[in-house]
Amino acid sequence: MALEIVRVPVLSDNYVWLVHEPMSGETMVVDPAVAPPVLEKAEELGWKISQIWNTHWHPDHTGGNAEIKEVTGCTITGPAAEAERIPTLDVQVKGGDAVRLGEVTAHVIHVPAHTAGHIAFHFADEKAAFVGDTLFAMGCGRLFEGTAEQMFNNMRALEALGDETDIYCAHEYTLSNGRFALTVEPDNTALAQRMEEVVVLRDRGEPTVPTTIALEKATNPFMRARSVAELAARRAAKDAA
């Protein structure tokens, strides 16, 4: 992989991602909830932040934008459809656009449902995607501004990225997601095995993401939903859990 990716845990369960492209020396931040831990980690690594990429407008994904920009002079890219809700944006993008980090290119995927203008960033050559709050390990985002049909279509779009694609989501929700998944598919042996591994990791205080498309196809009840109605029912049940 041409990218170096470092996880920065912030708040109670958020992950901010620092993405470094060594050929150019550029460093990008994905969804900074807050600024200080991100700036500290970049300084520790000797990386100069030149860009921020936002997947959606929620404050726990954009709250660090202004301070990081003030300190570094970086350029902030995010969803055009949510520009009014992200006042720090410099560059507005939509599904189908391409964005560059140094020598590598990511393609923007429109994945509405959690928010109306939610996007994901896919580095095809590096087999990595930053999906914000659309896809989680064994879960998906709540349908705050969209529909089950949109989320079902998002699952298909992300599934099409390929089994080996690493999925970098923005929260450590895996344990609770997995517990719910077991109520949906109690006979799924791949799921049961994965949950055993997740419990061990979380008991040690270790992260469970990134995940992969292959893992989600095998264990994620929302990606495995066979219809819009089934996904809707599972999302409603998870929300009520």
Find out whether 133 is annotated in a ligand binding site.
yes
Q: Which of 20, 110, 118, 133 is catalytic?
A: 133
**Residue 20 labeled ligand binder:** no
Burial of residue 232, with CB atoms counted within 10 A of its CB: 0-12 exposed, 13-18 middle, 19 or more buried: middle
Name the catalytic one among 61, 110, 118, 122: 61
The reply to whether 122 belongs to the active site is no
Q: Confirm whether residue 61 is marked as ligand binding.
A: yes
Selected catalytic residue, list 60, 110, 118, 166: 60
Residue 122 known to bind ligand? no
Q: Does the active-site annotation cover 171?
A: yes
13 is in an annotated binding site: no
- Please check if 110 is assigned to a binding site: no
Catalytic residue, chosen from 58, 110, 118, 122, is 58
Among 20, 31, 56, 166, the active-site one is 56
118 catalytic, yes or no? no
Is 118 known to sit in a ligand binding site? Answer: no
133 is catalytic: yes
Q: Which of 110, 114, 118, 122 is catalytic?
A: 114
For the chain, give the DSSP string. Answer: ---EEEEEEETTTEEEEEEEETTTTEEEEE--S-SHHHHHHHHHHTPEEEEEE-SS--HHHHTTHHHHHHHH--EEEEEGGGGGG-TT-SEEE-TT-EEEETTEEEEEEE--SSSTT-EEEEETTTTEEEEETSEETTEE---SSS-HHHHHHHHHHHHTT-TT-EEEESB--HHHHHHHHHHH-TT-HHHHHHHHHHHHHHHTT-----EEHHHHHHH-TTTS-SSHHHHHHHHHHHHH-
CA triple 146-148-151, angle to 5 deg = 80
Residue 55 forms beta bridges with which residues? none
Active site residue 203: no
Feature table: binding site for Zn(2+) = 56, 58, 60-61, 114, 133, 171
Feature table: binding site = 56, 58, 60-61, 114, 133, 171
Report the catalytic residues.
56, 58, 60-61, 114, 133, 171
